[in-house]
């Protein structure tokens, strides 16, 4: 389905922030904002929900910890409890200090890598992915706000000019 | 300006008085002859289920206390003498642990304060007066610790075995260390450490107050330079202090990591106390410009340094456990056999609890959460000092009983009185620190 969107370009992040607040105050739905760098506080101004990626990371860390414990308990204690240099391999707890470096690293490894992969999946990023960039200048020095358009084009254009936009385009968007 | 609330003042006096009574009881109950010592141990084991030894029962199923009869079987004179010394040491060690613990908090805060000044941190100037007030305890606390060390040198107790000329005469290892571990040099070093720390504290406080009244930033710049210099001095002296005041309690044992380990312990306790005092003052309406972001930052430091402490604790433990060299490993064997509960409770309180409680970013902004975590962390680090001092001084004759609690109460009361009394001496918000506006608006 193709839908019409209005795109307002700004050349200053402060102006953009004010514009976002104003458009939100007028109860228009902002579909997307493209910026060349993270604008501090933009997510709050747009009313986006907090990320839950830290929670996933914590769970992945717990998983890594469990994997390392189960793995070493099986290998070192259950499967073949050899006497290696006098280390007590009767129970897991007895030899635990020797396993802690691996437990720690596995926790960090799982927490970090699975969180990054989660991030890629959720933000739909992968090699050979077609870039979704409405205007090449947004990767350099321009900021772009995109609003879905009904039959209120005139009113919206006026509002956006008022917020200090340097350029306004109305385009069809594939989605 | 802060006015010392009457309730707190009276509370601190009551704590000091109670603590003094408890400590005095401890000293009065210490045995003076071998016979008394034997009786005490026998009584403790015979009616271990009743009377004043309930606390022993609460130590759980530890078998360390159980083989009472083993003591009864083969006595020899040296064993009895050893026991007498341990029992005599108990009130002294309780006094020393309490004195050192609260002194260590003030010193940890001083290090944190110097770091904030040297790093020109933008968030913390709002809390400088709180830190300065806590470091004021360095003077009375340091003097008390020094007096205890002098009394040890004067053979009032047997905490430091290397101070006993007779012991050294029969000990090749101690003779080898006598160039460093001799009473005169020991006291001279202690005086230099304390003198240096107190000197920096006083001069930094003076410059900090002068900066409020001046019309340029000269005092601020001077303070920056003193702080950077102090940090160099501190890192060297703190390490040596930990060898002198704590590691030399076990003079046959040594560990290169020990200085940092003690440092981590004092640093995290100090930061915790800054957070707790700030939250208290804020709740009373005295620090209106301190917001949740400041508390959040302090809680992050508590969280991170707790983990740093655990890292050092484990590194020291694991290296010794893994290599299992007899001359090193005795240190941990003593703690595993006789101190199982405090030893592992300490790890739970100093690592697992703050790890789980302070991991969530939102919880770090909830003041009562930070207070709760702070209480556990402080108790945990008291146990840490306890575990460092007690095994070498009282061995398996330890309890957390009247003298130990007396030590906490007395020094806790003195600490609270001194800190809050100093808070009344200057406005709680620095006037013209170059970073004060940034700190006022600090938002994370």
Give the whole-angstrom CA distance, residue B188 versus residue B198: 15
Tell me the β-bridge partners of A143: A10
Mapped onto helix, strand or coil, the DSSP state of residue A144 is strand
Q: How close B409 gets to chain A, by Cα (Å)? A: 36
Average pLDDT of chain A is 92
Number of other CB atoms surrounding residue B196 within 10 Å: 15
Supply the pLDDT for residue B41: 79
Supply the pLDDT for residue B82: 86
Share of chain A above pLDDT 90, in %: 81
Helix (H) / strand (E) element for B97: namely: helix B77-118
The answer, for A98 touching chain B at a CB cutoff of 8 Å, is yes
Write out the residues of chain B at the interface with chain A, using a CB-CB cutoff of 8 A: 314, 317-318, 321-322, 324, 359, 361
Supply the pLDDT for residue A21: 94
Crossing angle for the helix pair B367-393 and B258-283, to the nearest 10 degrees: 140
Give the whole-angstrom CA distance, residue B99 versus residue B93: 10
Which structure tokens are listed for B188? 């001279």
pLDDT along chain B (444 residues), means of 10: 91 96 92 82 60 41 44 64 89 95 97 96 94 96 96 92 89 92 95 97 95 92 96 96 95 93 96 96 92 94 96 95 92 92 94 94 93 96 95 90 94 96 93 90 88
> In chain A, what residues touch B361 (CB-CB under 8 Å)?
54
Tell me the β-bridge partners of A32: A146
Which structure tokens are listed for B151? 């009394």
User: Nearest Cα to B271, choosing from B167, B152, B161, B130?
Assistant: B130
> Is the Cβ–Cβ distance between B94 and B397 less than 8 Å?
no
> In chain B, what residues touch A98 (CB-CB under 8 Å)?
318, 322
Q: In what order do the strands lie in the sheet with A2-10?
A: A30-34, A143-148, A2-10, A167-174
Which structure tokens are listed for B189? 């070093």
> Is the Cβ–Cβ distance between A97 and A70 less than 8 Å?
no
- Give the model confidence (pLDDT) of A154-165 as tens digits: 888 999 999 989
Mapped onto helix, strand or coil, the DSSP state of residue A6 is strand
* Test mutation, B303, B312, B314, chain A, max A CBs within 10 A: B314
> In chain B, what residues touch A86 (CB-CB under 8 Å)?
324
Give the whole-angstrom CA distance, residue B356 versus residue B389: 28
HSE-CB of A48 using CA atoms within 13 angstroms: 13
Query: Would you say residue A30 has pLDDT above 80?
Result: yes
Q: How close B318 gets to chain A, by Cα (Å)? A: 6
Supply the pLDDT for residue B219: 94
DSSP-assigned letter for residue B283? H
Start-end of H helices in B324-398:
326-338, 340-347, 353-357, 367-393
DSSP-assigned letter for residue A11? S
Mapped onto helix, strand or coil, the DSSP state of residue A30 is strand
Supply the pLDDT for residue B45: 65
**Which sign, positive or negative, has the C-alpha torsion B248, B249, B253, B255?**
negative
Q: Mean per-residue pLDDT for A3-27?
A: 92
| Lowest mean per-residue pLDDT among A62-76, A118-132, B45-59, B255-269 | B45-59
Residue of A54, A58, A98 lying closest to B322 (CB–CB): A98
Which structure tokens are listed for B365? 């902004």
Which residue in B has a C-alpha nearest to residue A99's C-alpha?
A: B318
Contact A97 B359 (CB under 8 A): no
Contact A86 B324 (CB under 8 A): yes
Q: What is the pTM of this model?
A: 0.90
User: Nearest Cα to B395, choosing from B314, B321, B331?
Assistant: B331
Which residue in B has a C-alpha nearest to residue A88's C-alpha?
A: B322
Supply the pLDDT for residue A149: 85
Contact B321 A97 (CB under 8 A): yes
Supply the pLDDT for residue B36: 81
């Amino acid at each position: 389905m193709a839908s019409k969107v209005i795109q307002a370009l700004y050349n200053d992040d402060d102006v953009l922030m004010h514009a976002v607040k104003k458009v939100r105050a007028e109860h228009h739905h902002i579909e997307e904002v493209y910026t060349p760098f993270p604008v501090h506080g933009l997510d709050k101004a747009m009313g986006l929900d907090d990320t839950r990626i830290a929670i996933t990371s914590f769970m992945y860390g717990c998983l890594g910890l469990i994997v390392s414990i189960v793995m070493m308990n099986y290998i070192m204690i259950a499967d073949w409890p050899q006497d290696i240099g006098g280390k007590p391999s009767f129970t897991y707890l007895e030899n635990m200090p020797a396993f802690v470096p691996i437990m720690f690293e596995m926790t960090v490894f799982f927490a970090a890598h699975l969180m990054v992969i989660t991030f890629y999946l959720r933000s739909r990023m992968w090699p050979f992915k077609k870039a979704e960039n409405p205007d090449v200048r947004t990767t350099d020095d321009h900021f772009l706000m995109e609003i879905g358009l009904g039959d209120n084009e005139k009113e919206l254009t006026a509002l956006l000019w008022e917020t200090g936009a340097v350029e306004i385009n109305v385009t069809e968007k594939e989605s | 300006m802060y006015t010392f609330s009457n309730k707190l003042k009276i509370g601190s006096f009551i704590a000091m008085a109670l603590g003094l009574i408890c400590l005095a009881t401890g000293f009065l109950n210490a045995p003076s002859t071998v016979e008394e010592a034997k009786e005490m141990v026998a009584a403790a084991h015979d009616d271990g289920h009743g009377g004043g030894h309930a606390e022993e029962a609460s130590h759980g199923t530890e078998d360390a206390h159980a083989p009472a009869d083993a003591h009864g079987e083969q006595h020899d004179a040296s064993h009895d003498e050893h026991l007498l010394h341990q029992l005599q040491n108990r009130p002294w060690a309780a006094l020393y642990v309490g004195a050192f613990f609260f002194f260590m908090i003030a010193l940890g805060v001083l290090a944190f304060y110097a770091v904030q000044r040297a790093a020109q941190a933008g968030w913390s100037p709002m809390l400088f007066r709180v830190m300065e007030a806590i470091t004021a305890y360095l003077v009375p606390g340091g003097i008390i610790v020094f007096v205890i060390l002098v009394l040890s040198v004067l053979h009032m107790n047997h905490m430091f075995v290397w101070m006993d000329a007779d012991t050294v005469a029969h000990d090749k290892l101690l003779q080898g260390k006598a160039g460093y571990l001799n009473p005169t040099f020991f006291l001279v070093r202690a005086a230099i450490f304390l003198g240096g720390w107190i000197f920096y504290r006083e001069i930094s406080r003076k410059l900090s107050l002068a900066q409020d009244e001046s019309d340029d930033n000269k005092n601020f710049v001077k303070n920056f330079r003193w702080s950077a210099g102090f940090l160099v001095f501190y890192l060297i002296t703190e390490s040596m202090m930990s060898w002198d005041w704590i590691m030399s309690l076990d003079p046959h044992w040594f560990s290169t990591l020990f200085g940092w380990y003690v440092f981590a312990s004092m640093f995290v306790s100090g930061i915790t106390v800054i957070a707790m005092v700030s939250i208290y003052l804020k709740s009373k309406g005295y620090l209106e410009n301190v917001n949740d972001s400041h508390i959040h930052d302090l809680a992050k430091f508590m969280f991170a340094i707790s983990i740093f402490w655990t890292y050092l604790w484990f590194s020291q433990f694991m290296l010794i456990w893994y290599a299992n060299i007899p001359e090193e490993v005795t240190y941990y064997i003593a703690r595993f056999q006789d101190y199982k509960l405090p030893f592992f409770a300490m790890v739970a309180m100093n690592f697992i609890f703050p790890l789980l409680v302070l991991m969530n970013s939102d919880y770090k902004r909830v003041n009562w959460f930070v207070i709760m975590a702070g209480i556990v962390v402080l108790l945990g680090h008291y146990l840490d000092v306890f575990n460092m001092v007690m095994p070498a001084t009282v061995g398996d004759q330890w309890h957390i009983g009247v003298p130990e609690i007396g030590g906490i109460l007395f020094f806790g009361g003195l600490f609270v009185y001194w800190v809050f009394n100093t808070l009344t001496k200057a406005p709680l918000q620095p006037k013209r620190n170059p970073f004060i506006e940034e700190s006022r608006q600090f938002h994370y």
